[in-house]
């Protein structure tokens, strides 16, 4: 260096002129924080690798598409009765329909046969599936909303508030839920039958009471988990560390609380769906579910019992549908748990 300012070469004095400002690009190289989306991306990558879970997801999407789109252009409706076409086996035609075919007209086949009132069975099973999916999704929604609000309030405030709120949760948790669903649906059956509201009348006693009971009882496990997460995250060293380097509450909530709760929320919501579908079909089987003539997979299976020996297919189709739906949701739930559970991450 030509313009040496300091005489002593061993001097520790620094010459500011030798430094230059870092460019933005060079600054960016120093940022070690991962992108904020990477948690979700990470989980989704793991989920995509899980072939069973992805297959279940595809099946659920297919079933949902069939349940919500097919009735729009299907030639039969779930209410239309045809006394000449009672209890037809799958792909059979009634005498009247056979005559039409002989004349050269086309008749849409009864893919799953018809029931004892001559209604097309396929469209009834599809409508039942639609009911099951709706019940599952809405119940999960109720549980998610109430559980998160309750759990995060309890976890955030802690202390006495938390103790009282968790005692309430303990009591609700030990109530026998299915019995209370049954009790409520018995009690509100009359009220639903005479209700002015078209929506309530269409839903039926069982559905209304399922939603009421999910709102009253089923959110407790979600609330417990969310509270537990928030309590434990509050105490974590990495939260303390980020506070120490000057992170505000907004950053802690965004970077630590939400990503850690999201996994629990997704896992429990996914587990909630099959359990709601189970409960709805159980109630419909007991005759407490949707109102006639609206079909549900449970009530279809129940009706099939009267002529089980002669028309076993009337049991097989709804049974298969409910099995497939619950199985797919269970497997997807397992996949989501494996993908999102931070404890299993490696």
Partner 1 sequence: MNARFLSYLVKRLLMALLTIFLVIAITFFVMHAIPASPFSSEKAKSDAVIAALEAKYGFDKPVVVQFWNYLKNIAHGDFGLSTGWIGNTVIDLILGGFSYSARIGFTAGFLAIIFGVVLGSVAALRRGKFLDKLIQVTTTALVSMPSFVMATILLLVFALQLNWFPSLGNQPGGLFLPVVSLMLYPMAYVTKLQRSSMLDVLGQDYIRTARAKGVRNSRVIFKHALKNTLTPVITYAGPMMAYILTGSMVVENIFSVPGLGRLFTNSMLRTDYMMIMGVTIFLATMIILMNFIGDILYKVVDPRIDLG
- Burial tier of 284 (Cβ tally within 10 Å: 0-12, 13-18, 19+): buried
Query: Among residues 222, 301, 332, 336, which is the contact residue for partner 1, using CB under 8 A?
Result: 301
Rounded Cα distance between 189 and 291, Å, is 10
* Residue placing its CB nearer to partner 1 in the complex, 203 or 213: 213
Site string for partner 1, 188-217 (x = CB under 8 A): --xx--------------------------
* Interface with partner 1: number of residues (CB under 8 A): 39
Single out the residue of 165, 128, 184 nearest to residue 296, CA to CA: 128
DSSP label at residue 34: P
> How far apart are CB 193 and partner 1 at their closest, in Å?
11
Residue 204 tokens, joined: 């039926």
Q: Is 285 in the site for partner 1 (CB under 8 A)?
A: yes
Rounded Cα distance between 79 and 73, Å, is 15
Query: Among residues 253, 286, 338, 341, which is the contact residue for partner 1, using CB under 8 A?
Result: 286
DSSP label at residue 23: P
Q: Is 6 in the site for partner 1 (CB under 8 A)?
A: no
> How far apart are CB 266 and partner 1 at their closest, in Å?
20
Single out the residue of 130, 127, 132, 133 nearest to residue 112, CA to CA: 127
Q: Is 289 in the site for partner 1 (CB under 8 A)?
A: no
195 in Cβ contact with 291 (< 8 Å): no
Rounded Cα distance between 135 and 141, Å, is 10
- The alpha helices in 158-248, defined as continuous H runs, are 159-174, 177-187, 189-194, 198-213, 220-235, 237-244
What b/e sequence results for 114-134 when a residue is b if at least 16 CB atoms lie within 10 Å of its CB, and e otherwise?
Answer: bbeebbbbbbbbbbbbbbbbb
* Residue placing its CB nearer to partner 1 in the complex, 61 or 308: 308
Q: Which of residues 324-343 bind partner 1 (CB under 8 A)?
A: 326-327, 330-331
Query: Among residues 59, 186, 253, 258, which is the contact residue for partner 1, using CB under 8 A?
Result: 186
Query: Among residues 134, 141, 153, 180, which is the contact residue for partner 1, using CB under 8 A?
Result: 180
Q: Choose the binding region for partner 1 from 143-151, 251-259, 265-273, 300-308 (rule: CB under 8 A).
A: 300-308
Q: Is 278 in the site for partner 1 (CB under 8 A)?
A: yes
List, in sequence order, every residue forming a beta bridge with 120; answer none if it has no partner.
Answer: 114
> How far apart are CB 178 and partner 1 at their closest, in Å?
4
Q: Is 178 in the site for partner 1 (CB under 8 A)?
A: yes
Query: Among residues 54, 282, 338, 341, which is the contact residue for partner 1, using CB under 8 A?
Result: 282
Interface positions with partner 1 (CB under 8 A): 170-171, 174-176, 178-180, 182-184, 186-187, 190-191, 274, 278, 281-282, 285-288, 298, 301-302, 304-305, 308-309, 312, 315, 319, 322-323, 326-327, 330-331
């Amino acid at each position: 260096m030509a313009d040496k300012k300091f005489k002593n070469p061993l001097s520790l004095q620094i010459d500011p002129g030798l430094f230059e400002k870092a460019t933005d690009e060079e600054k960016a190289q120093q940022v070690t924080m991962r992108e904020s989306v990477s948690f979700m991306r990470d989980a989704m990558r793991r989920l995509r690798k899980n072939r069973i879970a992805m297959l279940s997801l595809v099946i659920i999407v297919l079933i949902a598409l069939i349940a919500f789109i097919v009735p729009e252009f299907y030639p039969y409706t779930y209410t239309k009765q045809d006394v000449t076409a009672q209890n037809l086996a799958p792909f059979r035609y009634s005498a009247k329909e056979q005559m039409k075919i002989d004349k050269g007209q086309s008749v849409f086949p009864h893919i799953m046969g018809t029931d004892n009132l001559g209604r097309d069975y396929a469209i009834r099973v599809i409508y039942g599936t639609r009911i099951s999916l709706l019940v599952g999704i809405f119940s999960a929604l109720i549980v998610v909303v109430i559980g998160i609000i309750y759990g995060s309030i309890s976890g955030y405030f802690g202390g006495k508030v938390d103790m009282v709120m968790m005692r309430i949760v303990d009591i609700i948790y030990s109530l026998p839920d299915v019995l209370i669903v049954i009790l409520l649906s018995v009690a509100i059956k009359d009220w639903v039958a005479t209700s002015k509201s078209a929506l309530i009348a269409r839903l039926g006693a069982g559905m209304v009471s399922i939603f009421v009971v999910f709102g009253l009882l089923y959110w407790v496990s979600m609330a417990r988990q969310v509270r537990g997460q928030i309590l434990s995250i509050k105490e974590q060293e990495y939260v303390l560390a980020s506070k120490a380097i000057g992170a505000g509450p907004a950053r802690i909530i965004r970077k630590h609380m939400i990503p850690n709760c999201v996994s629990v929320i997704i896992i429990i919501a996914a587990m909630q769906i099959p359990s709601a579908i189970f409960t709805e079909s159980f109630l419909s089987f007991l005759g407490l579910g949707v109102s006639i003539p609206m079909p549900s997979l449970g009530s279809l299976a129940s009706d099939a019992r009267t002529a089980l020996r002669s028309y076993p297919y009337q049991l097989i189709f709804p049974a298969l549908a409910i099995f497939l739906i619950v199985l797919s949701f269970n497997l997807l739930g397992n996949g989501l748990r494996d993908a999102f559970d931070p404890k299993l991450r490696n």
